[in-house]
Structure 1
Amino acid sequence: MVSTRLTQPLRLSMSDREPGKSAPFTPRLSKEQTEALIGGSNLFLKACPGSGKTRTVAARVAAELSNDKTLAMLSYTNVGAREVAAAVVIDHSVVLKVEDFVGTVHAFLNKFVLHPFGHLVTRSDVSMSIDPDEAQARMPVGVKSAMFEFRMDGTIRHTKDKYVSDAQRMAITKAKRKAGREGYVNYSDSIFVCRLVLSRYPAIAEALAKRFDEIIVDEAQDTSAMQLECLRLIARAGLKSLVLVGDYDQTIYEFIGSSPGGCDGLATELGLKTVALSENYRSSQLICDMTARIRGGGPADRATGEHASLQVAPKLLLYKEGGERQLVEQFESIIVAAGIAAESKAILIRTGAAASKIKGTAIRTPLDSPFKEFIDVGATELVTFEQYKSLERVLVKRSFGRNHGLSLDRSLVRSHVAEFVDDLPELEGDLFTWLAEASRSLDAHAQALSPATTTPVSTVEPPESSKGVTADLWVVPENPAIGVDTIHSAKGLSIDAVMLVGMPRMYQWPTDAENWAAGIDAVVGFRPNEALRVGYVALTRARQLNVLALPSDTDEGLIARYESAGFERTKF
């Protein structure tokens, strides 16, 4: 099967384009973006916020697919990868082939390495499965499997770098290896197994390298050191082209293993050509100037989009602790006073608990599987593909006690899941009662799916903590006038007006206000830490207006620094 276009195909070879010839797929691209499109193979695309990297990468993908190339389009999240894929179809009318891959780096390695070959290094008799519950069940009492991961050399470390005795390390290693022999790994261990496969069996790495003409990794700065090592092994095995797309200053997942320095190092080692996208199509120049001061060092991005010349300065607001709920109303007043037409508005803060405080809602207690999957589906009108797949895994495991090494009629599994979703009651009333009803419904489908010879399905009771909790607390509101959420949830979004809220001193040391001011007037060579990068990502979401809300006891010296960076103080 070849890629097709709904109109006459336009073909462009990335590596063999004749000098001086104009490139198709470029009418909507700038000179910078066009260079990324036709820049040859093996690129490191450094993209500033709002640079139109999705549009640029989509144009490159469309051109490659129209030359019958086979591609893997990877990102840190499924949403990111599918945004590119959607742009390929919508903007260029190019259809992806079944041989192409769209998804996360994690899913890519699991599909092509872990599931078919992981057993070679774990010595399992069945194909490997990512099952955190089964992996946890084999751990020593009181030890959480997810809190310990393998280093490159195979030794165990605590994810928070806490002290681990030799005896504990040996016991945890033994438990993880036992789980592996039985076919189970958790999420982080699965990538370690993939690295072992690719390093111990070069022929597998070579076969994977030959399967794709190009692997594109969006948000590459958020990939972990272990994932980068897997990509390095594939690239070294003969991959024709690797394209990394990212921005060090937007790394906000270092706390769970992302390796921005490793990304730069891999690009250098493999000799990837660096192409910079420094034109910002999202924000005004005033916002670009301010965020450049915040991140510390380097020239400001060039605003070239619809709001480039908008003369609305960023605002700084001081709020009293305990008055967080007033921020929504104050934000709306500032937007009105600025005279902008803001169709999208968001208040961003670091934690979900702090966001609940601003919204005036109760803090939602996290739920484990399968109740998390029940809530995810029950809380929304539109069930996503990922949610259906999660429910399929839950149903199969409930039916057979495992979700791998089975020969199943997948259409039958999907049919049961669809019926389960349709039968879910309205998410309201007592949460424990709702979860229990959902669990009994799944049990009925599991019993119908499993053969009569299998062990009877055992009912799983909801956690006691869900008793007395209002179920509709989890319902996702439809298009609130002002969204209130965490900074991490806004990654990749463009928002007309953004309020970034710094948390009071009692929650941390140093404070958000101190962390986010660290780059202002920084010396040459300054590298922002993750706390600063989190604030930077929030501020760079804004198209027209930024408001920074800080606690009223913020030091005047800090406030003066923010004012020097372009903020104007606003009072109520």
Structure 2
Amino acid sequence: MPLSEEQKRSLWDDAGHPLEGLQRLSARPGTGKTTTVTRYCLDLAASWQERHEPWQGIAVLSYTNVAKDEVQTRIRKNGAAHVLLRSPHFLGTLDAFINQHLFLPHGGKVMGYKGGRPSLVGEPYQQWRASWPLHNSSPADAFKPVYFDCYTMGKDAQPLLIDKSPRMIQPRTTAVAKSVSDSNAPKISLMKQYVWSTGMALQADANYLSYQAVKGSPAIAKALARRFPVLVIDEAQDMTEVQHAIVDTLIGAGLQHVVLVGDENQAIYEWNTARPDLFTGRAMATGWRVSRLKESYRCGPPICAALTTMAADGITLTAGSGAKNASYRTAVDVRLYDDGTELTTLQEVIDTTAELLADIAPHDGNSAGIKNLAVIARSGEDARRLHAQYTGTAAVGTHRTVWDSPLTRDFLKTVHHLSRSETDQAVRAYEQVLVRAGGHSTAADMRLATLQRTSNRAGNTLAYRVLLFTDLKLIASHVTGRLLRISDCVTCTDLPLINLNHSQRAAIRRDCFSFTEPIKSPQDRLLAALFAARDERTWNAHPKHQRVRILFATTHAVKGETHDAVVFYTKHRVAACRCPQSAGTWKSVLQHSILECETKRIAYVACSRAAQALAVLAPAGSLGAWQALTRPSA
């Protein structure tokens, strides 16, 4: 699909050459951000070898795996562009880039760790479990290491609370992380330094430690700026203060070509220390060129009008000229419900929307004619409750799954892929198990150690694969084609696996078996649910219109997606937003500045997932506010 004139003007000059320098591109929902970024990077790569050294590359980064995967998929579709997916270029998440080029090679020194390369712990790597020796030998005037994953450090070296979830301190005792106060900050900092000195860090810590490394060494900063003379970052509205500081340090070291792409109105990760104001602030910074995309190729005109009213930032979102979404004319539907009619109203609006979708072609033009209707709630608890009410099934619990062994989750992922005959994915997951089981820094180190342990000649790739696949084939013979729950995997740990010793298998077994006990049995999920990809979600076919499938999800789960229709469920009260106009009702929240109010941005993201139809379920107190918001579409 050729670029629109607006897209061309955003990152190319009048002659069609990619613009260089410091640039910020603000792209509203459905405006072709990913298409534009992908084409821009392909154009840069086309003449790359003529202008740069063989060891220099483009770093194409995204804040999320979802956005990274989308860019990667589009690049793969261009047969001549696979060069971007290989060295010297880098395509991945911002975290992965920082880990590979800053944290792993240089973070240990900043941490005070003398044992080589540090290790990443906590989500998404493994559940944080402070060992008893570590917990028992911590400094007396520091917080206990059990709270290590509750905090990270800001740019100014002050602690930040990132996880309040209750956790076990002693058997049958739970506690919640304390807030960061003037009296608590030194205790938290001391605890973080203590655990860092043992070689362990969270991903959020890795960003902070990498910033300290690059700030403290001009040589490191200059080397990285020369290695990657072009930095393109997608979803940049979700970057943290520390990540922005790393970019600024590289610019100070000579990096002259940076492109930050995102939508400040879709920043919904402030709870994870995102700073969308720093993305918008680039517009006023010296030397930065600013451009915008505001022609949507997703949302119909009524939805564009409602989003424009919601944003109230002086920028009009319009349907793309001549695009198929320009013909979507269904008015935004605001429905009133009360405590006694919530389920009835939900069923009615789903039926009405399904009837509408049944008569029109799907937005994505799929040959099967499948239309997606997403019922979106802010919280996972509400999404699960609505799904249970609509389908007449039991609601799934929302407790966090906790593993005693750091190997369990990846072992279960291995079993999951083998049960689905996904061999390549199973190999990657099992190698991650073996890396952690042996305490290795890399998969290459693990493979070498495996060969040495079995008296095989180093570098014998065939011998290593025989050892690896001996285990995988044994597991596969027990699970292929089966629908497995966590507890079902106990039998897999009883197999005589070559690469995992008895104690490691026993620890995984205890984890799996614990889900048969009454306290955890409600969390005994299917592996397909535990490792659900986007195409593995639970979709419900509409009882009358079988080609309309229904998904219940949270706003965060569907960010970056497009659905033919959206039903946005709103409660009587929401958790008080943290913006200056703090409020707990949608009636008030909808009047807030979208740049200051994350709660309002969450609603904006939910509504902007809709292409053809949007409905809002509103309680009595906020009905008028939602109707006023959507009045331009009536």
Rounded to whole Å, the distance in 1 between the matches of 2:300 and 2:77 is 27
Change (3 A) 1:111 1:386: farther
Q: In the alignment, is the contact (CA less than 8 A) between 2:298 and 2:319 conserved in 1? A: yes
Question: Which residue is 2:395 aligned to?
Answer: 362
Residue 533 (1) aligns with residue 533 (2): no
Question: Which residue is 2:278 aligned to?
Answer: 262
Alignment of 1:3-82 (within 5 A): 28-39=2-13, 40-41=19-20, 42-68=22-48, 70-82=57-69
Rounded to whole Å, the distance in 1 between the matches of 2:112 and 2:301 is 58
Question: Which residue is 2:550 aligned to?
Answer: 482
Which residues of structure 2 form unaligned runs of 5+?
14-18, 50-56, 136-142, 165-176, 363-370, 389-393, 449-460, 530-535, 541-548, 578-582
Shift of 1:407: 2.4
Rounded to whole Å, the distance in 1 between the matches of 2:211 and 2:269 is 21
Q: In the alignment, is the contact (CA less than 8 A) between 1:283 and 1:543 conserved in 2? A: yes
Rounded to whole Å, the distance in 2 between the matches of 1:387 and 1:515 is 49
Shift of 1:329: 5.8
Q: In the alignment, is the contact (CA less than 8 A) between 2:128 and 2:149 conserved in 1? A: no
Question: Which residue is 1:18 aligned to?
Answer: none
Alignment of 1:53-132 (within 5 A): 53-68=33-48, 70-91=57-78, 93-95=80-82, 96=84, 97-124=86-113, 125-132=115-122
Question: Which residue is 2:334 aligned to?
Answer: 316
Rounded to whole Å, the distance in 2 between the matches of 1:379 and 1:298 is 49
**Per the alignment, in what secondary structure is the counterpart of residue 312 of structure 1?**
coil
Rounded to whole Å, the distance in 1 between the matches of 2:58 and 2:347 is 44
**Per the alignment, in what secondary structure is the counterpart of residue 216 of structure 1?**
strand
Shift of 1:319: 3.0
Deviations 1:134-175 (A, max 9, x none): 684445548421221112232324347964466654443233
Shift of 1:345: 1.6
Alignment of 1:234-313 (within 5 A): 234-266=250-282, 268-269=284-285, 271-304=287-320, 305-313=323-331
Residue 332 (1) aligns with residue 348 (2): no
Change (3 A) 1:513 1:424: farther
Q: In the alignment, is the contact (CA less than 8 A) between 1:292 and 1:300 conserved in 2? A: yes
Change (3 A) 1:404 1:334: closer
Q: In the alignment, is the contact (CA less than 8 A) between 1:349 and 1:485 conserved in 2? A: yes
Q: In the alignment, is the contact (CA less than 8 A) between 2:375 and 2:551 conserved in 1? A: yes
Of the structure 1 ranges 324-333 and 538-547, higher mean CA displacement relative to structure 2 is found in 324-333
Change (3 A) 1:215 1:473: closer
Rounded to whole Å, the distance in 2 between the matches of 1:478 and 1:502 is 22
Of the structure 1 ranges 134-143 and 497-506, higher mean CA displacement relative to structure 2 is found in 134-143
Q: In the alignment, is the contact (CA less than 8 A) between 1:135 and 1:176 conserved in 2? A: no
Rounded to whole Å, the distance in 2 between the matches of 1:504 and 1:445 is 56
Letter in 2 for 1:345: L
Shift of 1:107: 0.7
TM-score with structure 2 length normalisation?
0.74
Question: Which residue is 1:395 aligned to?
Answer: 434
Of the structure 1 ranges 258-267 and 43-52, higher mean CA displacement relative to structure 2 is found in 258-267
Rounded to whole Å, the distance in 2 between the matches of 1:76 and 1:539 is 22
Question: Which residue is 1:210 aligned to?
Answer: 226
Q: In the alignment, is the contact (CA less than 8 A) between 1:499 and 1:548 conserved in 2? A: yes
Choose from 409, 412, 424 the match for 2:447: 409
Alignment identity in percent?
Answer: 24
Rounded to whole Å, the distance in 2 between the matches of 1:135 and 1:267 is 43
Change (3 A) 1:390 1:260: farther
Rounded to whole Å, the distance in 2 between the matches of 1:271 and 1:386 is 44
Rounded to whole Å, the distance in 2 between the matches of 1:203 and 1:496 is 51
Change (3 A) 1:477 1:81: closer
Change (3 A) 1:183 1:134: farther
Rounded to whole Å, the distance in 1 between the matches of 2:297 and 2:409 is 38
Q: In the alignment, is the contact (CA less than 8 A) between 1:284 and 1:309 conserved in 2? A: yes
Change (3 A) 1:141 1:435: farther
Q: In the alignment, is the contact (CA less than 8 A) between 2:267 and 2:276 conserved in 1? A: yes
Shift of 1:333: 2.3
**Per the alignment, in what secondary structure is the counterpart of residue 283 of structure 1?**
coil
Letter in 2 for 1:499: V
Q: In the alignment, is the contact (CA less than 8 A) between 1:32 and 1:277 conserved in 2? A: yes
Deviations 1:443-486 (A, max 9, x none): 935426x9xxxx87652422454336554496445654111111
Change (3 A) 1:33 1:329: same
TM-score with structure 1 length normalisation?
0.82
Alignment of 1:470-509 (within 5 A): 471-472=525-526, 475=529, 476-477=536-537, 479-480=539-540, 481-505=549-573
Rounded to whole Å, the distance in 2 between the matches of 1:434 and 1:226 is 43
Choose from 561, 574, 591 the match for 1:518: 591
**Per the alignment, in what secondary structure is the counterpart of residue 77 of structure 2?**
helix
Change (3 A) 1:362 1:546: same
Q: In the alignment, is the contact (CA less than 8 A) between 2:377 and 2:554 conserved in 1? A: yes
Of the structure 1 ranges 138-147 and 37-46, higher mean CA displacement relative to structure 2 is found in 138-147
Choose from 191, 203, 206 the match for 1:190: 206
Q: In the alignment, is the contact (CA less than 8 A) between 1:314 and 1:546 conserved in 2? A: yes
Deviations 1:198-249 (A, max 9, x none): 0011111111111113110000001111111111111221123100001111
**Per the alignment, in what secondary structure is the counterpart of residue 604 of structure 2?**
helix
Rounded to whole Å, the distance in 2 between the matches of 1:226 and 1:387 is 35
**Per the alignment, in what secondary structure is the counterpart of residue 88 of structure 2?**
coil
Q: In the alignment, is the contact (CA less than 8 A) between 1:209 and 1:237 conserved in 2? A: yes
Rounded to whole Å, the distance in 1 between the matches of 2:213 and 2:497 is 39
Letter in 2 for 1:145: F
Letter in 2 for 1:539: C
Choose from 463, 467, 472 the match for 2:521: 467
Letter in 1 for 2:80: S
Shift of 1:83: 1.3
Deviations 1:347-366 (A, max 9, x none): 11111111111111422432
Change (3 A) 1:471 1:387: same
Shift of 1:299: 3.6
Of the structure 1 ranges 196-205 and 119-128, higher mean CA displacement relative to structure 2 is found in 119-128
**Per the alignment, in what secondary structure is the counterpart of residue 74 of structure 1?**
strand
Rounded to whole Å, the distance in 1 between the matches of 2:427 and 2:571 is 36
Residue 545 (1) aligns with residue 613 (2): yes
Of the structure 1 ranges 503-512 and 145-154, higher mean CA displacement relative to structure 2 is found in 503-512
Rounded to whole Å, the distance in 2 between the matches of 1:142 and 1:117 is 23
Change (3 A) 1:555 1:153: closer
Which residues of structure 1 form unaligned runs of 5+?
1-26, 520-524, 568-572
Rounded to whole Å, the distance in 2 between the matches of 1:526 and 1:508 is 15
Rounded to whole Å, the distance in 2 between the matches of 1:72 and 1:506 is 39
Question: Which residue is 2:625 aligned to?
Answer: 558
